[in-house]
Structure 1
Amino acid sequence: MGTRLKVLNTFKALHRTRTAVFKDDAKALAAARLKINEEFRNNKNETSEENIMKMIKMGSNVEAVLREGVMQMEHVGDKKLLLRPRASLLLENVPYCDQPRKTS
């Protein structure tokens, strides 16, 4: 696979993950979009194959951290937060489960 295609795939994966992780949070969606676009724009003139591969790896790692480690919370009172975890997050963090997983 060409380097350009890998870069575009990483860019798309980050944006797909951003929309899933920050669903229904317009402020976080916009901030993440700006940051992703800014980072790619800042490095668009990079020509070193080695540096490009390092950045692709970093982008993939960031996407994995967002997908596997970020949960949404919402303030519902003075000292209360409402946790809105995604279904994939709940299943992946359970070390042992008596019930088999539902496949979709």
Structure 2
Amino acid sequence: MAARSKVMQLFKALHRTRKEVFKGDDDALEAARQNINAEFRNNLTESSPEKITELLKFGTDVEIILRKTVIQGVHTDHNRISIKPRKEILLDNVPFNHNPTIKDT
């Protein structure tokens, strides 16, 4: 029963992430919804605990990759794309050091 609960949690997490990552892009939202549902449907009858654990790990990795690496872009004109980065993607800017120190080993 614990595996079923984890599967449902992952299913919901993937759909929440999909809604956040592809907000405003109806085509991408629908494609991601169909893909998530199809993958879960294809593995609905899986009963091997090892395979279920492997699939849960894969699904968790996909959710993390979607959340941390996907950036939306919008064509603003023929040669330009405007990006819409989410807060979790933005990294702290580290200033460039013009005079790096060389360590003697």
TM-score (norm 1): 0.87
- Aligned counterpart, 1:102: none
Determine what percentage of the aligned residue pairs are the same residue: 46
- Aligned counterpart, 1:89: 89
Distance in 2 separating the partners of 1:95 and 1:68? 16
- Aligned counterpart, 1:16: 16
Distance in 1 separating the partners of 2:17 and 2:94? 26
Instruction: Indicate yes or no: 2:73 matched with 1:73.
Output: yes
Shift of 1:95: 5.6
Shift of 1:89: 1.4
Q: Structure 2 counterpart of 1:37, which letter?
A: N
CA RMSD of aligned residues (A): 1.4
Instruction: Indicate yes or no: 2:71 matched with 1:35.
Output: no
Shift of 1:44: 0.1
- Superimposed CA distance per residue, residues 4-36 of structure 1 (whole angstroms, 9 cap, x where no aligned partner): 000000100000000000000000000000000
Query: After TM superposition, what 4+ stretches of structure 1 lie above 2 angstroms from structure 2?
Result: 93-97
Structure 2: any 5+ residue segments left out of the alignment?
96-105
* SS class of match (1:89): coil
Q: Which structure dedicates a bigger proportion of its chain to helix?
A: 1
Structure 1: any 5+ residue segments left out of the alignment?
98-104
TM-score (norm 2): 0.86
